[in-house]
Amino acid sequence: MDFTSWFQWFFLKAKIDTGATISALHATHIKEFYKNNEKYVRFRLHRESSYKIIKKPVLGYKTIKNSFGEKQSRPLVNISFRMGNKTIETIISLAKRSRMTYPVLIGRSSLKKNYRINPKKSYLTGKIG
């Protein structure tokens, strides 16, 4: 069992959110398209003053109530990210989180039963960047 804290550094700064079932990633210019009869999504992933365009197959949609109480239907994609020395593969929803402090929320389903949260600590896996 690994320990993690409320705040972590990934490629982007992230917050562990045990109240959220599914993780969320800040993305802009979200556009759906078809490729070989399969639905894909193209989006921009921002970090500081630059961005990267990413294309991923859409796994489905999830209606999520955001932190402002509004319901949103969000596309779900499969991603992998590093937390400390571990790579985690998970499903994440794409959302415009520009008004939020953290561009990434890591929900319970991404952590599964491999982590215990220590709410009194921050950045237990170290900082990057």
DSSP-assigned beta bridge partners for residue 39: 34
Q: Tell me the C-alpha distance between 36 and 16, whole Å.
A: 36
- pLDDT tens per residue, range 24-40: 888 889 999 999 999 99
Tell me what pLDDT residue 97 has. 66
Q: Tell me the C-alpha distance between 5 and 51, whole Å.
A: 27
- pLDDT tens per residue, range 49-86: 777 888 999 999 999 887 778 898 999 999 887 777 77
CB burial readout 39-75, b (16+ within 10 A) else e: ebbebebbeeeeeeeeebebeeeeebeeeeeeeeebb
Tell me what pLDDT residue 17 has. 77
Q: Tell me the C-alpha distance between 108 and 21, whole Å.
A: 5
How are beta strands 13-16 and 71-83 bridged, if at all?
Answer: unpaired
Domains of the chain with bracketed CATH: 2-26+60-118 (2.40.70.10)
Tell me what pLDDT residue 32 has. 95
This prediction's pTM: 0.76
Q: Tell me the C-alpha distance between 30 and 119, whole Å.
A: 33
